[in-house]
Amino acid sequence: MLRIRPAESRDLPRLQDVERAAGAAFRDLGMVAVAEDDPPTLEELDAYRVRGRAWVVSGEDDVAVGYLLLDVVDGAAHVEQVSVDPACARRGLGRELLDTAARWALGKGFAAMTLTTFADVPWNAPYYARLGFTVVPDAEAGPELRAVRRHERDLGLDAWPRVSMRRPLGP
């Protein structure tokens, strides 16, 4: 049985493995730089864990098979990363992680969730659109979200079309 829980210190090395495995799918799209990108460091992952903004989905053996990291950007809960081990893909685990983050965000008084993603990768923007996210035009993005996008451009991620997306929370 799969369950979602807050990330623990013992999970962090496994989250790096999940990220590497999930990233490999980008190679098939010719996005080798994305596929070979290093996962977050243990220190970066631990910072999310300490702030209570990291969740994992784990199996019966309680080993993480997916995770989500959350920031706050322009007064919205911002999905920094969500990844699921490809061996466990297509089971709704990413959606469950996003729903968990949305419940957390609502409980903290946030009115929306945001993220940035690749526009044309099937398991990126099209997937998030099915979950209620809509594209935020650059002119409507807040200063912090624009800064996130600038940082992504500096990293070379704009070699492939990227978008910012937003999902309102609550009723």
The CATH number that applies at residue 86 is: 3.40.630.30
User: 138 Cβ partners below 8 Å, 6+ apart?
Assistant: 146, 149, 164
Taking alpha carbons only, the member of 27, 126, 159 closest to residue 86 is 27
What pLDDT was estimated at residue 51? 96
Q: pTM value?
A: 0.93
Provide the domain count of the chain.
Answer: 1
Q: Give residue 42's pLDDT.
A: 97
pLDDT at 132: 95
pLDDT value of residue 84: 95
Residue written as token pair 């919205």: 76
Specify the DSSP class assigned to residue 2: -
CB 19 within 8 A of CB 39: yes
Distance CA 146, CA 138 (A): 7
Residues making up the chain, counted from first to last: 171
Which pLDDT value is given to residue 171?
Answer: 67
User: pLDDT per position in the chain (171 positions), as tens?
Assistant: 789 999 999 999 999 999 999 999 999 999 998 988 899 999 999 999 999 999 999 988 899 999 999 999 999 999 999 999 998 888 889 999 999 999 999 999 999 999 999 999 999 999 999 999 999 998 999 999 999 999 999 998 988 999 999 999 976
pLDDT at 59: 85
- 123, two tokens: 């398991």
Domain of residue 110, residue span: 3-168
**Could you tell me which residues are beta bridge partners of residue 78?**
71, 114
